[in-house]
Structure 1
Amino acid sequence: MKKILYSIIIIGLAQFGIAQAPNGYYNTATGTGYTLKTQLYNIIKNHNTKSYNQLWGLYTGNPNAFNDNWYDSGQQNTIMDIYSENPSGPDPYNYIPGTNQCGNYSGEGSCYNREHLIPQSVFNQNSPMVSDPFHIWPTDGKVNGERGNYPFGVVGTTTFTSRNGSKRGNNLNSGYSAGYSGIVFEPLDEFKGDIARAYFYFATRYQENGIQNWNYAMFNGTKDKVFTDTFLKILMTWHVNDPVSPREIQINNAIYIYQNNRNPFIDNPEYAQKIWGYNLGSLDFISQERNYIDIFKKNNTTYTITTKQPKSVINDIYIYNINGQIIQKINNNSQQKSIDIVLHNKGVYVIKIMGNSFEINKQIII
């Protein structure tokens, strides 16, 4: 079995040619803590507000961002829906952009609508929050309704499960989600970081829109910290466990063209830790178990990533530090089944492994 050996060196995200923030866009983001948060607010405020109805055109007009190009190569012309996507196999149903819009629904698979990750009722359906696509994504109408206005969290006892495994139930009041026992909605692991970064964006972009007065279980009644301790821990854990994906980068770029602002936490994931100062230890990381991908230690600096099944061809590998900064991207263009990576520096790394039908995040500690 052939192997490819990669040596890991620290280099910037822009060098991969996938981050497309304009030169100087974040030049004034020089502080730390809530000073940095306000600096980012001043950078991303005053975006070009569009109507709620225009979201349909955004979803259909940006196939690289909102179509299912990332997990199922046979369904590239369908909507990428976090509530129905099955990253490791066939989706239970698919939607054609612009064709299957809700309307009414009778069950899962009827139609897709516009899911507000921060519920509309929180901000009384006011503009510009009501039409900001950074937190409004196309999802199955039925599952959107089942999620309702509940916060995101870690489900302990399940009362509803969608056909892709998203679930609703009482929050698991232990571990990193300790401190809340109400009903929550939990997405798949592959989309938890995406949701966390959408929340960080929302907390920053709308800190001067009265967010301290909005009643929501995830919010603490302030405009600086915004989140309760429990939900900040959940979001930060998800942010680290599920680093920025190419799909998010495409969404960020598409929305920048659409409304002329960006999500800073996609461009610079380390901003979250710099603002909220939430240092996660290695025990806070939960690796995603998949029986068709192995990572084993070869020696003190070298790890081997191996795929066991023909369908599980590795396309790309991304290596992140614990703050979510990407330090290396590997393209497996020759589709080798076994890849060696070398980690020179001590630390905690998150390895994102992506193929046509899967996305897996694993932890390595040097």
Structure 2
Amino acid sequence: MYYISVGGNWYPPELTAYDEQDGPLRVDYFGEYDVNVVGVYKITYVAKDLDGNVTYYYIYLHVLESIGDQPPADYPEMDEAALVELKARFQNERNKVLPKYTDPFDATVYYASLNGLTGQAFLNELRRIISTNITPTAYDDVRFILEKSDAVDSPWGTYLYGIYSGTKLVRYWDGGSTWNREHVWPNSKLGVKNQVDQAADPHNLRAISVSVNSYRSNRFFTNGDGSSSYHIVGTDGFYPGDDHRGDVARILFYMYVRYYDILTLVDTVEEILSGENYKPSGAKFGLLSVLLKWHYLDPVSKFERHRNNVIYSYQGNRNPFIDHPEYVSIIFNYELNIFNETFNVIIVIPKTEIDPSKLRKREYFS
């Protein structure tokens, strides 16, 4: 997000795109904005490869009366002086939840053992990488990890970014009064009730508005009715919104690989609804072919990379599909040939974050 005072100078940032097969691609943008009119403007970037596959990337411009003005009505209280009492309520517990993995992360070392592997061998090794030498997280501790992993800075302070709705949530845990911990892969579909690992894994947990958490319930993910915002589809389906669908897909891909002996991604509603909640027969979720498309329609964001880094510092493992989006095609092309769908990877990257000249095949975020 970008913030300027009304009448200020601003130009859409230049982006670049890289395709695994076609190399650097042209990126165009569209969307009207007026720096002289207060409001929020959405700019859409589009990249298309030679086969016609399209990827979108979105940024938002906030034009304000003055950067020093009071925050908009949809912002929570973020003044540190006003939040002292709220922060103090759980400070003793918060002090016990500390990062354990503080050395600089080196992706080339972390994923090095995957070099030269394909098919089932690649999948097995990726499972090993994200499942060993880690410190599983307690569910209560996730409250304080989310305070950092889901945080977004703004001119008025820090807030938590609520999944699905994009609601700006108060930055400290408030006992569940205004925000909860959302199981993206629903708790009832994790196989065994109160199982520590998969139920408490912060990679699967997001800060969420209490009302949105209740609204989503444990519905499976599917395409929506054309609206860009989150909504229920039919009785048991749920669309997470255009800006959240890629995040959802990558979280579920992580859960499938990490807890491969418990969880299964499927592609039919009947399979999802046939099992019993909190039982191994109910540890199925999807819809997989929809998630695969969402992964490419909503690319990895700066917010996701921040989350990945924070969670790694506490738990010691990463969501590999954030670090390496192309792993999705490597794994699921192997496992899901029945869908007869092929996706090319197009990653749209802000030039200020990555030098495209240094990109090599399957090394988008080195």
TM-score, normalization by structure 2:
0.58
Q: CA deviation at 1:24?
A: 1.4
Match of 1:122 among 181, 185, 189: 189
Equivalent in the alignment of 1:68: 152
Does residue 26 (structure 1) correspond to residue 111 (structure 2)? The answer is: yes
Q: Residue 255 of structure 2 contacts residue 263 of structure 2 at CA under 8 Å; is this kept in 1? A: no
Q: Residue 244 of structure 1 contacts residue 324 of structure 1 at CA under 8 Å; is this kept in 2? A: no
- Decide whether aligned partners of structure 1 residues 218 and 231 sit closer, same or farther in structure 2, where only a CA change above 3 A counts: farther
CA distance in 1, matches of 2:264, 2:163: 29
Equivalent in the alignment of 1:53: 140
SS in 2 for 1:114: strand
Equivalent in the alignment of 2:237: 184
Does residue 323 (structure 1) correspond to residue 364 (structure 2)? The answer is: no
Does residue 254 (structure 1) correspond to residue 322 (structure 2)? The answer is: no
Q: CA deviation at 1:127?
A: 1.6
SS in 2 for 1:275: helix
Mapping for residues 301-320 of structure 1, pairs under 5 Å: none
CA distance in 1, matches of 2:161, 2:11: 34
Write the deviation string for residues 165-195 of structure 1: whole angstroms up to 9, x where unpaired: 321122xxxxxxxxxxx62111121111111
SS in 2 for 1:247: helix
Q: Residue 250 of structure 2 contacts residue 322 of structure 2 at CA under 8 Å; is this kept in 1? A: yes
SS in 1 for 2:287: helix
Q: Residue 151 of structure 1 contacts residue 218 of structure 1 at CA under 8 Å; is this kept in 2? A: no
SS in 2 for 1:77: strand
Equivalent in the alignment of 2:158: 77
- Decide whether aligned partners of structure 1 residues 142 and 245 sit closer, same or farther in structure 2, where only a CA change above 3 A counts: same
CA distance in 1, matches of 2:231, 2:223: 9
Q: Residue 196 of structure 1 contacts residue 239 of structure 1 at CA under 8 Å; is this kept in 2? A: yes
Equivalent in the alignment of 2:326: 270
CA distance in 1, matches of 2:311, 2:321: 14
Match of 1:243 among 277, 299, 305: 299
Q: CA deviation at 1:5?
A: 7.9
Mapping for residues 142-161 of structure 1, pairs under 5 Å: 142-156=211-225
CA distance in 2, matches of 1:156, 1:8: 29
CA distance in 2, matches of 1:157, 1:8: 26
Mapping for residues 270-309 of structure 1, pairs under 5 Å: 270-277=326-333
Equivalent in the alignment of 1:211: 263
CA distance in 2, matches of 1:40, 1:147: 31
Match of 2:232 among 168, 189, 213: 168
Q: CA deviation at 1:227?
A: 7.2
CA distance in 1, matches of 2:307, 2:13: 31
Match of 2:255 among 184, 202, 226: 202
Q: Which AA in structure 1 matches 2:351?
A: I
Q: Residue 269 of structure 1 contacts residue 324 of structure 1 at CA under 8 Å; is this kept in 2? A: no
SS in 1 for 2:170: coil
TM-score, normalization by structure 1:
0.58
Q: Residue 268 of structure 1 contacts residue 325 of structure 1 at CA under 8 Å; is this kept in 2? A: no
Write the deviation string for residues 265-319 of structure 1: whole angstroms up to 9, x where unpaired: 111111111111167568xxxxxxxxxxxxxxxxxxxxxxxxxxxxxxxxxxxxx
Q: CA deviation at 1:324?
A: 4.5
Identity percentage of aligned residues: 26
- Decide whether aligned partners of structure 1 residues 155 and 213 sit closer, same or farther in structure 2, where only a CA change above 3 A counts: closer
Q: Which AA in structure 2 matches 1:95?
A: L
Equivalent in the alignment of 1:39: 125
Does residue 133 (structure 1) correspond to residue 202 (structure 2)? The answer is: yes
CA distance in 2, matches of 1:218, 1:259: 32
Q: CA RMSD in A?
A: 3.9
Q: Which AA in structure 2 matches 1:32?
A: T
CA distance in 2, matches of 1:205, 1:3: 38
Q: Could you list the runs of 5+ residues in structure 2 that have no partner in the other structure?
A: 1-9, 25-103, 357-366
More helix by share: 2
Paired positions, count? 246
Q: Which AA in structure 2 matches 1:245?
A: S
Equivalent in the alignment of 1:112: 179
CA distance in 2, matches of 1:169, 1:7: 35
Write the deviation string for residues 185-213 of structure 1: whole angstroms up to 9, x where unpaired: 111211111110001100000013x3359
- Decide whether aligned partners of structure 1 residues 96 and 43 sit closer, same or farther in structure 2, where only a CA change above 3 A counts: same
Q: Residue 83 of structure 1 contacts residue 140 of structure 1 at CA under 8 Å; is this kept in 2? A: no
Q: CA deviation at 1:22?
A: 4.0
Q: Residue 154 of structure 1 contacts residue 186 of structure 1 at CA under 8 Å; is this kept in 2? A: yes
SS in 2 for 1:168: strand
CA distance in 1, matches of 2:111, 2:248: 22
- Decide whether aligned partners of structure 1 residues 268 and 324 sit closer, same or farther in structure 2, where only a CA change above 3 A counts: farther
Q: Residue 151 of structure 2 contacts residue 160 of structure 2 at CA under 8 Å; is this kept in 1? A: yes
CA distance in 1, matches of 2:331, 2:265: 21
SS in 1 for 2:196: coil
- Decide whether aligned partners of structure 1 residues 213 and 136 sit closer, same or farther in structure 2, where only a CA change above 3 A counts: closer
